[in-house]
């Protein structure tokens, strides 16, 4: 069965083809809206939705052409049902459900974070269930115990700003523009380690919860009233990234000790951070556990993770949308732990 995956939860339009029979990702492509939103300093939901409308059909046609496949070969269409921007989600859902209805094939709505969580299973070096997962995607920072597909238990999550949000807001304080997270990480590489030390929020709380809003405030106090030099900015960026990375890595080790599991999966945009990966790899070597990441191109939002999650759900016998169903809805807010076991 050939599965078309559609991802439109925010500001990236992703499409992919996954062959369920051979168990392989045939191809995927992503259109980023960064250049369009840069002028506004952040994502404008209405513009994001309209751009998804413009991009979906050309992207899907190009994907089918490049892989030598046709729409008649599709056996299912998967799409991001939530969470995300409601307008963007509606565009993807309407398109996916329309294609599925026209072709007489089932449609399956996928949780955006489930796509991220399962994406490391697409890598050549993949984990086996069960494992602990650190999800650091956009407004989400969560630790999950993963027993299998749709068998997720929340261990801890952020109480305010997520790691990705803290990166973006701190980048704005440093005048780095949009998107701030990647720019701050790049700047931190030229920063002086230890020049400044910022708080490590909740690192000794004894639980698996996170809080990053105070860290952003600490940066604000450092930069307020200062005419920053390039090196000053780099040193602050390094101090900020050191704090975030240390908290995330420490909580991951605590989660593994608490659960008794020996595999850690890291997924989401912040999971591409090189400093975080280096520290997690070092801790894995020291404490005797294994850590797994998605391929770098699959850390950001993409259709491949949606198609793959749908494939795993179909293999497990998940219910799909009836072929003759006309109505549909999306879920802008949707807790991952609320997914029912298959």
Contact 171, 177 (CB under 8 A): yes
User: What does the pLDDT look like over 154-184, one tens digit per residue?
Assistant: 999 999 999 999 999 999 999 998 888 999 9
Closest CA to 328 of 116, 9, 101: 101
pLDDT of residue 23: 77
Q: What is the mean pLDDT of residues 312-329?
A: 76
Using 50, 70 and 90 to split pLDDT, how confident is the model at 266?
very high
Q: What is the mean pLDDT of residues 306-313?
A: 96
Give the whole-number percent of the chain exceeding pLDDT 70.
97
Element spanning 109, H or E = strand 107-111
Using 50, 70 and 90 to split pLDDT, how confident is the model at 321?
low
pLDDT of residue 322: 59
Say which DSSP state 316 is in.
T
User: What does the pLDDT look like over 41-99, one tens digit per residue?
Assistant: 899 999 999 999 999 999 999 999 999 999 999 999 999 999 999 999 999 999 999 99
Closest CA to 116 of 80, 89, 166: 80
Return mean pLDDT, the chain.
Answer: 94
Tokens of 140: 């989400």
Order of strands, sheet of 140-148, starting from the edge strand that comes earlier in the sequence = 151-157, 140-148, 131-137, 263-267, 290-292
3-state secondary structure of 256: helix
Whole-number Å distance between alpha carbons of 282 and 296: 19
CA distances (Å), origin 247, targets 144, 146, 304:
16, 21, 30
Residue 323 has pLDDT above 80, yes or no: no
Using 50, 70 and 90 to split pLDDT, how confident is the model at 290?
very high
Contacts of 29 (CB under 8 A, 6+ apart): 14, 15, 16, 59, 62, 63, 303
Domains, the chain, in order of start with CATH, read 2-117+300-338 (3.30.420.40), 125-293 (3.30.420.40)
3-state secondary structure of 172: helix
User: What does the pLDDT look like over 138-157, one tens digit per residue?
Assistant: 889 999 999 999 999 999 99
């Amino acid at each position: 069965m050939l599965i078309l995956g559609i991802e439109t939860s925010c500001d990236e339009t992703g499409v992919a083809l996954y062959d369920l029979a051979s168990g392989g990702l045939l191809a995927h492509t992503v259109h980023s809206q960064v250049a369009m939103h840069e002028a506004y300093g952040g994502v404008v939901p209405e513009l994001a939705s309209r751009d998804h409308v413009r991009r979906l059909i050309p992207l899907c046609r190009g994907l089918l052409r490049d892989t030598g496949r046709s729409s008649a070969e599709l056996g299912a269409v998967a799409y991001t049902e939530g969470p995300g921007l409601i307008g963007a989600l509606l565009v993807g859902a309407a398109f996916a459900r329309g294609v599925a209805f026209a072709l007489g094939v089932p449609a399956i709505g996928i949780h955006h974070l489930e796509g991220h969580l399962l994406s490391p299973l697409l890598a050549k070096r993949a984990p086996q269930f069960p494992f602990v997962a650190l999800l650091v995607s956009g407004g989400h920072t969560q630790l999950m115990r993963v027993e299998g597909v749709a068998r997720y238990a929340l261990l801890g999550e952020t109480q305010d700003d997520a790691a990705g949000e803290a990166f973006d807001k701190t980048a704005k304080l440093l005048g780095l523009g949009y998107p701030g997270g990647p720019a701050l990480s790049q700047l931190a590489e030229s920063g002086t380690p230890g020049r400044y030390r910022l708080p490590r929020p909740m690192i000794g709380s004894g639980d698996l919860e996170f809080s990053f809003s105070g860290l952003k405030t600490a940066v604000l106090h450092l930069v307020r009233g200062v005419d920053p030099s390039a090196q000053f900015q780099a040193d602050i960026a390094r101090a900020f990234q050191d704090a975030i990375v240390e908290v995330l890595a420490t909580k991951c080790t605590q989660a593994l000790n608490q659960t008794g599991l020996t595999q850690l999966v890291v997924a989401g945009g912040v999971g591409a951070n090189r400093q975080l990966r280096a520290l997690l790899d070092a801790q894995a070597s020291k404490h005797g556990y294994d850590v797994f990441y998605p391929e770098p191109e699959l850390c950001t939002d993409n259709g491949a993770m949606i198609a793959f999650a749908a494939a795993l759900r179909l293999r497990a016998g998940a219910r799909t949308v009836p072929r003759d169903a006309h109505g549909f809805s999306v879920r802008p807010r949707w807790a991952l732990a609320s997914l029912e076991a298959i």
